[in-house]
Amino acid sequence: MTRWRTSPLLLLLVVLVAGCGGGGSSGSSSTSDWANGFCSAITSWTTSIQTAGKSLQGGNVSEKSLKSAANDIKSATSTFADDLKGLGKPDTDSGQQAKESVDQLSSQIKSDASEIEQAVEGASGLSGAQKALTTVGSTLSKMSSQISSTLSELNGLDPKGDLQKAFNNADSCKSLAKSGG
């Protein structure tokens, strides 16, 4: 069995992502339920990514552990994307725009998960594994940035501040904020 040293870059990026998923319903939902569903989806995804990352932190990474972590990331991301799509739109003046932003994020992260899967499937030998680890790390970092950008966009869509209030009051968002997301 081939073993590789864990890339410090990957470990750093997994930790960065960890600082950042529960579904909802289609159609319109109350703003607080929508915010809770959004933050819950992020929390669930982050926990799954952290768990997958821990399997790569032992100092040595095998081809099997790399592929297993990539599968876990893909599965968690697929669930996250589905949860986001299932949120519907919040009950605000800009609810449709918020839904479109979240749907776009859902599509982006699904594409990112495929990128991770392809990188890991093509990994062979030490150099291939290092390249795959680098791709996994940079893609997770990109996903984290996409989530942050979507949050900023959501806050900018709502001039009345209804979404911001909902994010501030939602229990799952409060726990997400405490964890550093």
Reported as a single tens digit per residue, the pLDDT across 78-127 is: 999 999 999 999 988 889 999 999 999 999 999 999 999 888 887 877 77
**Which of 15, 28, 158, 22 shows the shortest CA–CA distance to 88?**
28
Burial of 8 (0-12, 13-18, 19+ CB in 10 A): exposed
Amino acid 99 reads K
Contacts of 118 (CB under 8 A, 6+ apart): none
C-alpha pair distances (Å), 154 with each of 57, 141, 146: 34, 20, 12
Mean pLDDT of the chain: 79
**Which of 23, 40, 10, 11 shows the shortest CA–CA distance to 176?**
40
pLDDT at position 152 is 87
Range with the lowest mean pLDDT among 12-21, 52-61, 64-73, 155-164? 12-21
Whether residue 41 is predicted with pLDDT greater than 90 in this model: the reply is yes
pLDDT at position 59 is 61
pLDDT at position 155 is 81
What's the rounded Cα separation, in Å, for the pair 143 and 54? 18
Reported as a single tens digit per residue, the pLDDT across 42-66 is: 999 999 998 888 877 766 677 778 8
Q: What is the DSSP letter of 181?
A: -
What's the rounded Cα separation, in Å, for the pair 21 and 82? 9
**Which of 132, 112, 151 shows the shortest CA–CA distance to 56?**
132
pLDDT at position 29 is 59
Tokens of 139: 């893609």
**Which of 118, 52, 109, 49 shows the shortest CA–CA distance to 81?**
109
What is the arithmetic mean of pLDDT over 16-43? Answer: 66
Q: What does residue 24 show for φ and ψ, rounded to 5 degrees? A: -140, -145
* Choice between 89 and 179, residue whose per-residue pLDDT is larger: 89
Residue 145: CB atoms within 10 A of its CB come to 13
Whether residue 153 is predicted with pLDDT greater than 60 in this model: the reply is yes
pLDDT at position 96 is 92
Q: Where are the domains positioned within the chain?
A: 69-84+95-181
